[in-house]
């Protein structure tokens, strides 16, 4: 899981009138997590993906603070302050889990051994650039955590995000104005309105949330989208 900033969480907290809820975005993303994948989930909505992965698929969760095979939340008896995830929340370890140190953990990430990472976003560009760690505000305490390592190393990067900021500004832009987390790293965006693939030809809108039209999405996106809804 990566440390995304509190700012981004605040921006994402208010659901829009139409479109998918936070739970539904996580649920939609979970459909694309394949059986047998090694997956790292960012803090916030991405964390929820785990509970919606379809039954019958076995997925191994990596947390960058040194655990492969992260399980669900602990019961009161299971709780151990030495067993936490990258968001510093108590977790459990499944049978078949493994502990390792930070050097080895980020070797897994940087060495392209992890299949999928799901993260939040402040901004995503047409080319798949991601900004999710800093607004660049001069008085902010900069904090990056493992986000830059994850986007540089994990094979597939999925983004779950509200389509616009809470003030209605577009988050999908020709260029990110916030400092980048990584350049050309995003593969797919799950917003509350739609699913978008980042391709060499541009941003491909492949799926719309119920009652949401292509034009509705396009009006809230600063990049010309390609309509690929079947």
Return the active site residues. 64
Among 181, 188, 193, 217, binds other proteins (CB under 8 A): 181
Provide, rounded to whole angstroms, the least separation between the CB of residue 122 and other proteins: 13
- Dihedral of alpha carbons 171, 197, 51, 90, sign: negative
Our finding on whether 166 is near other proteins (CB under 8 A) is no
Stretch 19-48 residues interacting with other proteins (CB under 8 A): 35-36, 38
Distance of CA 66 to the CA centre of its chain: 19
- CA separation for the pair 185, 158 (Å, rounded): 9
Q: Which residue, 51 or 100, has its beta carbon nearer to other proteins? A: 100
Check residue 54 and give left, alpha or beta (phi > 0: left; psi -120 to 50: alpha). beta
Beta carbons within 10 angstroms of residue 42's beta carbon: 28
Among 55, 103, 201, 215, binds other proteins (CB under 8 A): 103
Element (H, E) at 178: none
Are 93 and 71 spatial neighbours (Cβ–Cβ below 8 Å)? yes
- Tell me, residue by residue from 122 to 161, as one string, x for binding to other proteins by CB under 8 A and - for no binding: -------x---------x-xxxxxxxxx--xx--------
Residues in CB range of 174: below 8 A, 6 or more apart: 125, 126, 222, 223
Binding span for other proteins by CB under 8 A among 16-24, 157-165, 176-184, 212-220: 176-184
Applying CB under 8 A, which residues contact other proteins?
Answer: 3, 5-6, 35-36, 38, 56, 58, 60, 62-69, 80-85, 88, 93-114, 129, 139, 141-149, 152-153, 179-184
């Amino acid at each position: 899981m990566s440390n995304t900033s509190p700012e981004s969480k605040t921006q994402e907290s208010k659901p829009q009138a139409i479109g998918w809820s936070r739970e539904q975005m996580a649920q939609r993303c979970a459909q694309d997590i394949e059986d047998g994948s090694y997956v790292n989930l960012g803090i916030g909505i991405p964390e929820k993906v785990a509970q919606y992965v379809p039954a019958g698929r076995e997925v191994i969760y990596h947390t960058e603070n040194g655990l492969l095979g992260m399980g669900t939340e602990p019961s009161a008896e299971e709780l151990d302050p030495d067993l936490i995830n990258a968001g510093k929340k108590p977790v459990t370890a499944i049978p078949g889990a493994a502990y390792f140190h930070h050097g080895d953990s980020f070797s897994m990430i940087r060495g392209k051994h992890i299949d999928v990472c799901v993260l939040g976003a402040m901004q995503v560009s047409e080319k798949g650039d991601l900004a999710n760690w800093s607004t660049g505000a001069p008085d902010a305490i900069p904090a990056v955590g493992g986000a830059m390592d994850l986007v540089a190393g994990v094979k597939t990067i999925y983004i779950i995000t509200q389509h616009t900021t809470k003030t209605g500004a577009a988050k999908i832009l020709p260029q990110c104005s916030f400092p980048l987390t990584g350049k050309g790293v995003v593969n797919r965006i799950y917003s509350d309105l739609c699913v978008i693939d980042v391709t060499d030809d541009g941003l491909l809108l492949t799926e719309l949330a119920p009652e949401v039209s292509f034009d509705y999405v396009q009006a809230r996106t600063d990049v010309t989208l390609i309509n690929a809804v079947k």
